[in-house]
Structure 1
Amino acid sequence: MYNLLKSDFYKLKSMKAFYILLLFPVIQAVGFSYFVPHATGNQTLNNSLSSQEFMVLFLLMGVFASIIITNDFHTGGIRSLISFGHNRMKIIYSKSVVYYFSIILLSLLFPIISTIINTSKNGFGLIVEGDLITAFFVRLLLLMLIYIAESSIFLVIAFITRNSNMVITTAGVIVVMNLILNMYVRKKQSLIGDIYKTTPYYQTTHLLNDPMTLEVIGSILLICVLTIMLCIIVTGFAFNRMDVK
Structure 2
Amino acid sequence: MLNLLKMELRKLKASKLFYFFIFLSLLQAIPVYLLSQRLGITNGKNTFNYMLFLQLSLSSGITIGVFAVDVVCNEFTSAYIKNLISYGHKRRNIYLSKAITTYIGIYIITFIAPIIITIINTHKNGFGEVFTTRSFLFMVKIFLMALIAHTAIGSMAVLVSFIVRKPVAGCVIIMGMDFINRLLNLIYVQKPNLRWALDKYPYMQLSSFFAEEVTEIQRMQSIMAFLCTILISTVLGIYIFKRSDI
TM-score clears 0.5 = yes
Is the CA contact (8 Å cut-off) linking 1:58 and 1:151 kept in structure 2?
no
Question: Shift of the alpha carbon at 1:6?
Answer: 0.9
Query: For residue 61 of structure 1, what is the aligned residue in structure 2?
Result: 64
What is the aligned counterpart of 1:128 among 106, 131, 136? 131
Secondary structure of 1:50's counterpart equals helix
Cα deviation, 1:98-150, whole Å, max 9, x if unaligned, reads: 01111111121121122223333343444333333322221221111111101
Aligned-pair CA distance for 1:15: 1.2
Paired residue for 2:165?
Answer: 162
Counterpart of 1:242 (choices 211, 233, 244) is 244
Provide the identity percentage. 28
1:71 to 54, 70, 74: 74
Judge conservation of contact 2:76–2:165 (CA < 8 Å) in 1: yes
Cα 1:60/1:207, change in 2 over 3 Å: closer
- Is the 8 Å Cα contact of residues 29 and 113 (structure 1) preserved in structure 2? no
Instruction: Give how far 1:239 is off.
Output: 1.1
Q: TM-score, with normalisation over the residues of structure 1? A: 0.89
The answer as to whether partners of 1:148 and 1:228 remain within 8 angstroms in 2 is: yes
Contact persistence 2:69–2:158 (CA under 8 A): no
In structure 2, relative to structure 1, the CA distance for the partners of 1:26 and 1:207 (3 Å cut) is closer
Is the CA contact 2:151–2:230 (under 8 Å) kept in the aligned structure 1?
Answer: yes
Q: Give the corresponding residue for 2:20.
A: 20
Q: State the aligned residue count.
A: 241
CA offset at residue 95 of structure 1? 0.5
Residue segments in structure 1 that go unaligned for 5+ positions in a row: none
- Is residue 83 of structure 1 aligned with residue 77 of structure 2? no
Q: Distance in 1 between matches of 2:112 and 2:173?
A: 23
Distance 1:127 1:59 in 2: 37
Q: Does 1:221 align with 2:223?
A: yes
Give 1:6's aligned residue.
Answer: 6
Q: 2:216 corresponds to which letter in structure 1?
A: M
Q: Is the 8 A contact 1:30 1:114 kept in 2?
A: no
Q: Choose 13-22 or 92-101, whichever is displaced more.
A: 13-22
Match of 1:201 in 2: 203
RMSD across aligned positions (CA)? 2.0
Give the letter for the 1:144 counterpart: L
Q: Is 1:144 the equivalent of 2:147?
A: yes
Contact 1:65 1:158 in 2 (8 A): yes
- Taking a change above 3 Å as real, the CA distance of residues 182 and 64 of structure 1, as seen in their structure-2 partners, is same
Letter in 2 for 1:211: T
TM-score using structure 2 length:
0.89
Aligned to 1:210: 214
User: Which range moved further: 93-102 or 39-48?
Assistant: 39-48
Once the two structures are superposed, residues 64-102 of structure 1 have per-residue CA deviations (whole angstroms, 9 ceiling, x without a partner) of: 112211111111110110000011111101111101111
Q: How far does residue 207 in structure 1 lie from its aligned partner after superposition?
A: 5.2
Which amino acid is 1:195 matched to?
Answer: A
Structure 2: which 5+ runs fail to align?
Answer: none
Q: Which AA in structure 2 matches 1:5? A: L
Which residue number corresponds to residue 184 of structure 1? 187
Which stretch of structure 1 is more off in the superposition, 194-203 or 72-81?
Answer: 194-203
Cα deviation for residue 47 of structure 1 reads 2.6
Whether the aligned pair in 1 keeps the contact of 2:53 and 2:210 (CA below 8 Å) is no
**Structure 1 stretches of 4+ moved >4 Å:** none
Q: 1:53 deviation in Å?
A: 1.1
* Letter aligned with residue 9 of structure 1: L
Q: Distance between the aligned counterparts of 2:33 and 2:54, measured in 1? A: 13
Specify whether residues 8 and 129 from structure 1 end up closer, same or farther in structure 2 by C-alpha distance, changes over 3 A only: same
Q: Within 2, Cα distance between the matches of 1:227 and 1:71?
A: 24
Which residue of 115, 118, 123 corresponds with 2:118?
Answer: 115
